[in-house]
């Protein structure tokens, strides 16, 4: 007698469900394909993503950036906001990329979990696709991995990388920065995706007001569109994306020896979310500036004559800006000083 019972899948018994993986791919196809244009060859489902650079560039320099969302993932899970982390992932890569003047070309993501939940994962991938579209960047492919026993309970991790391009003659590398140039700070949306191990430790002891919590969960700003327009319309000398290490660690990364970024702390006010974290966490001002962006997500260095035009460009993108300081001569080891 033949049994009609479907044989047990040994891989499913081990905790990996191939059918759920296929279901996920089908549910995200439309979102992924919406980020493609004629430069993308083929589509989702192949072994590799194919991207055609074309003949637009005379001497193209390819730029690669990789990052993750870090422990903000855990906080987003706790508040059922994991669908927002897709933008965080894209932003942390493409925001780094535009600091050298590069245009994002494509992005790939890696999602790993103890157990694949297609509906939850699809929301995250759709968030990634939406952020790619806003950054004029193709979501070229990705990978999902189900690893029971490696990740505890419903934990997951999110990582990705992006590739961009810039004409070699247009590369922004900070070599043109001189004393007298202005540091123009562009507002952040919140802590972005940095400092969340500390943030979560503070939240274990203190419950924030709802508006503060919203800011802590808010996705990272996507800077490519406004910054690339800024580069086109002004002569940007250098840029710093304010990520882990805050203003203190990131601004000096683009300065030559003998230059110091002099920051005027009265030129902007720490947003309320950062004030709350500083108060409840009993964090010194110097540590705040070394850990968080403190309200400044990107810093552009440019000539004083370009500042007004730069402010107008960024205002058009609904971004607030602050003249936070200037470049001076000096031999400080950290190449940054606050006043």
- Separation of alpha carbons 116 and 110, rounded Å: 13
| In a shared domain, residues 19 and 123 | yes
| In a shared domain, residues 166 and 186 | no
Q: Total structural domains in the chain? A: 2
Q: What's the confidence (pLDDT) of residue 27? A: 60
Q: What's the confidence (pLDDT) of residue 153? A: 79
| In a shared domain, residues 90 and 119 | yes
- Separation of alpha carbons 73 and 75, rounded Å: 6
**CATH number (domain holding residue 117):** 3.30.1330.10
Mean pLDDT of 79-104: 96
| In a shared domain, residues 199 and 285 | yes
- Name the pTM for this structure: 0.88
| In a shared domain, residues 128 and 221 | no
- Separation of alpha carbons 96 and 239, rounded Å: 9
- Separation of alpha carbons 105 and 228, rounded Å: 13
Outline where DSSP puts E strands in 170-211: 182-187
| In a shared domain, residues 125 and 69 | yes
pLDDT tier at 290 (50, 70, 90 boundaries)? very high
Q: Which of 170, 203, 224 corresponds to the end of one domain?
A: 170
The stretches of the chain forming alpha helices (DSSP H) are 10-13, 18-33, 72-78, 85-98, 118-134, 196-203, 210-217, 224-233, 246-250, 272-281, 285-291, 307-316
Residues of the domain holding 63: 10-44+53-170
pLDDT tens digit sequence for 133-143? 999 999 998 88
Q: Which of 148, 170, 192 corresponds to the end of one domain?
A: 170
pLDDT tier at 18 (50, 70, 90 boundaries)? low
In what order do the strands lie in the sheet containing 60-68? 60-68, 156-167, 103-113, 138-146
Q: What's the confidence (pLDDT) of residue 299? A: 98
Cα–Cα nearest to 148, from 115, 175, 185: 115
Among 45-49, 231-235, 263-267, whose mean pLDDT is lowest? Answer: 45-49
- Separation of alpha carbons 7 and 258, rounded Å: 71
| In a shared domain, residues 280 and 165 | no
Q: Which of 150, 170, 190 corresponds to the end of one domain?
A: 170
| In a shared domain, residues 245 and 134 | no
Inside any domain, residue 177: no
For residue 210, give the 3-state DSSP assignment. helix
Inside any domain, residue 198: yes
pLDDT tens digit sequence for 174-206? 999 999 999 999 999 999 999 999 999 999 999
| In a shared domain, residues 215 and 69 | no
Mean pLDDT of 241-269: 97
| In a shared domain, residues 15 and 164 | yes
Mean pLDDT of 315-334: 95
């Amino acid at each position: 007698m033949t049994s009609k019972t479907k044989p047990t899948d040994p891989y499913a018994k081990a905790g990996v469900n191939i059918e759920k993986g296929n279901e996920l791919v089908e549910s995200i196809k439309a979102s992924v394909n919406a980020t493609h244009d004629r430069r993308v060859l083929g589509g989702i489902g192949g072994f590799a993503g194919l991207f055609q650079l074309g003949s637009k560039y005379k001497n193209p320099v390819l730029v690669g950036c990789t990052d993750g969302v870090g422990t903000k993932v855990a906080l987003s899970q706790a508040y059922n906001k994991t669908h927002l982390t897709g933008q965080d992932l894209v932003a942390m890569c493409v925001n780094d990329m535009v600091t050298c003047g590069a245009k994002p070309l494509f992005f790939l993501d890696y999602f790993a979990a103890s157990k694949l939940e297609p509906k939850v994962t699809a929301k995250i991938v759709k968030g990634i696709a939406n952020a790619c579209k806003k950054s004029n960047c193709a979501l070229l492919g990705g990978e999902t991995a189900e690893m029971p026993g490696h990740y505890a309970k419903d934990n997951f991790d999110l990582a990705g990388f992006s590739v961009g391009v810039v004409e070699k003659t247009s590369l922004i590398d900070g070599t043109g920065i001189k004393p007298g140039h202005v540091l123009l700070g562009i507002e952040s949306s919140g802590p972005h995706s940095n400092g969340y191990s500390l943030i979560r430790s503070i939240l274990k002891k203190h419950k924030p007001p709802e508006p503060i919590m919203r800011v802590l969960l808010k996705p990272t700003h996507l800077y490519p569109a406004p910054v690339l327009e800024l580069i086109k319309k002004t002569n940007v000398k250098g840029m710093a994306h304010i990520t882990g290490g805050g203003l203190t660690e990131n601004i000096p990364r683009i300065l030559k020896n003998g230059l110091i970024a002099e920051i005027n702390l009265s030129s902007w006010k720490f947003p309320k979310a950062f004030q709350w974290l500083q108060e409840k966490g009993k964090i010194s001002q110097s540590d705040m500036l070394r850990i968080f962006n403190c309200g400044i997500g990107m810093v552009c260095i440019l000539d004083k004559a370009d500042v007004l035009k730069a402010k107008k460009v960024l205002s058009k993108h609904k971004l607030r800006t602050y003249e936070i300081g200037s470049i001076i001569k000096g031999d400080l080891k950290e190449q940054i000083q606050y006043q």
